[in-house]
Amino acid sequence: MLDVSLLKPDQTSLSPLPDGHFKGLIAVTFFGFLSFASSFGLLVLLSYRLISWMRAGKGSNQFAILIFNLILADVQQSLAFLLNAEWLAGNAINVTSNSCWAQGWFISTGDLSSGVFCLAIGLHTFSTVILNYRLPMPYFLSTVLICWVFVYVASVIPVIMYPHDIYVRAGAWCWINSSYGDLRLWTHYFFIFIAEFGTVFIYASIYFMLNQRIRSSSFSVDEAKKAKQAAKLMVVYPLVYVICTVPLASARMASMSTRMSPSVEVLCFAGSMITSNGWMDVLLYTLTRKIMIFGDEPPEDKIGLETFQIPGVIESRFGTTTIIVAAGGGKGRNKGRGLSRHNSTDHLVSDIHYLRGVKTSTTVEVRTEPLELGDIQELSEIDARKNPSASKERGSFDSKCNDSIEGQEWPKPF
């Protein structure tokens, strides 16, 4: 039972809410709701995908599992800040209520698990893209389980040590009692900062290694194009996480060193940023790794660069790649002979002017994949848009052929 008389003035219940608290909590609650709704929606979709893949005997994809766990962490984090709606509705922060305890718990587990799985996704990306290595599925699932065990052990330690007054008012919402600064640091912020710096370091390493391989011509033409797209995204992933988490973490750490609580305005701004982690993760991964999330079948774990896509960049699924190599003295070299399993281009190099003494050679690379009825219709529509006159003539010809066949008298069988 919480003994309110032992709490400091800035840890006790607050009623009514001052104007600054009320306005600030409106923003925090709004972004908490936005993150909760988007994260929960994606969590339901991923649950359906993973279950349907397993029931169909298609297995599952490691990255999809990591995204599922990251979104599950975001749901807990956003739920914590969504609970501020109760403080707004009652115009008071009640430290003796169950909601105060729940809010403190979900902030601890949500913040920490979000950082852990952002770091895990970074490590998995490095292993897949740079090292071309994946853990065997049993070891991978065990690692995911260990991550969750770590999160809940770190979060339950303060509760075990101080069960009666661990979660009280911490500025504009409930969290770990400010009197237990060491617990805040060593069970929470220490690991948050490891996740932040670790994520930045990992993605920076991927970025520089990819660019080094591009410059050293280690990739084929098609692979180099995908590597350039992936390299650009390596800057975005850690940036989103750091932007969302640094304001609140740095504000709390500053208050621990100066013994002065951050202002309500700073806290509410930082709270709005950290609870935006959810909807920004949903937006980021659904736009850049949608093949891993929205595919009817789980992508193979061995694919790497093909899973990254910059929004707005559309690649054709069919066609041929024509590479024209020009070299003086009749000698030509083709440096781009690599093939991609999932993508093909439809770029035709044309308008090659005749140059005396230059010999041109054309290499046509044909990429094939199984066609379905929908694919044939898609190809027909593309051809019709490119050459409408030919499409009409072909349609007229097909019609005449059909009429001719229908009017033909065929010999009767004996």
DSSP letter string over 144-179?
HHHHHHHHHHHHHHHHHHSTTTSEEE-SSSEEE-TT
Residue 177 to residues 171, 270, 275, Cα–Cα distance (Å) = 10, 18, 20
CB-CB contact of 345 with 222 (8 Å): yes
Measured CA to CA, the distance from residue 256 to residue 187 in angstroms comes to 15
Verify that 345 and 196 share a domain, yes or no: no
Return the higher-pLDDT residue of 147 and 389: 147
What pLDDT shows up at residue 80?
97
Structural domain containing residue 403: 380-407
Verify that 182 and 329 share a domain, yes or no: no
Phi-psi sector, 263: left (phi>0), alpha (psi -120 to 50), beta: beta
Side chain identity, residue 280: M
Residue 30 to residues 33, 40, 411, Cα–Cα distance (Å) = 5, 15, 78
Verify that 245 and 191 share a domain, yes or no: yes
Verify that 68 and 184 share a domain, yes or no: yes
- CATH number of domain containing 196: 1.20.1070.10
Measured CA to CA, the distance from residue 204 to residue 207 in angstroms comes to 5
What pLDDT shows up at residue 108?
97
**For the ranges 46-55, 119-128, 195-204, which has the lowest average pLDDT?**
46-55
Verify that 160 and 259 share a domain, yes or no: yes
Verify that 259 and 400 share a domain, yes or no: no
Measured CA to CA, the distance from residue 137 to residue 61 in angstroms comes to 9
Q: Is the pLDDT of residue 303 over 90?
A: no
Q: Is the pLDDT of residue 310 over 80?
A: no
Most confident range, picked from 17-21, 250-254, 287-291: 17-21
Verify that 143 and 252 share a domain, yes or no: yes
Measured CA to CA, the distance from residue 203 to residue 262 in angstroms comes to 31
Q: Helix, strand, or coil here: 183?
A: helix
Across residues 153-170, what is the average pLDDT?
A: 95
Across residues 233-240, what is the average pLDDT?
A: 77
| pLDDT level of residue 106 (50, 70, 90 thresholds) | very high
CA dihedral 78, 79, 84, 86 (to 10 degrees): 160
Q: Is the pLDDT of residue 120 over 70?
A: yes
Verify that 237 and 352 share a domain, yes or no: no
What pLDDT shows up at residue 188?
96
Measured CA to CA, the distance from residue 45 to residue 68 in angstroms comes to 9
Q: Residue 97 contacts by C-beta under 8 Å, 6 or more apart in sequence? A: 86
Q: Is the pLDDT of residue 362 over 90?
A: no
The verdict on residue 413 lying in a domain is no
What pLDDT shows up at residue 49?
85
Return the higher-pLDDT residue of 384 and 401: 384
State whether the Cα torsion 115-80-145-278 is positive or negative: negative
Closest CA to 79 of 68, 88, 71, 91: 71
**Number of domains composing the chain:** 3
The verdict on residue 274 lying in a domain is yes
Verify that 203 and 330 share a domain, yes or no: no
Closest CA to 282 of 293, 267, 296, 295: 293
Verify that 362 and 385 share a domain, yes or no: no
Q: Is the pLDDT of residue 9 over 80?
A: yes
CB-CB contact of 354 with 347 (8 Å): no
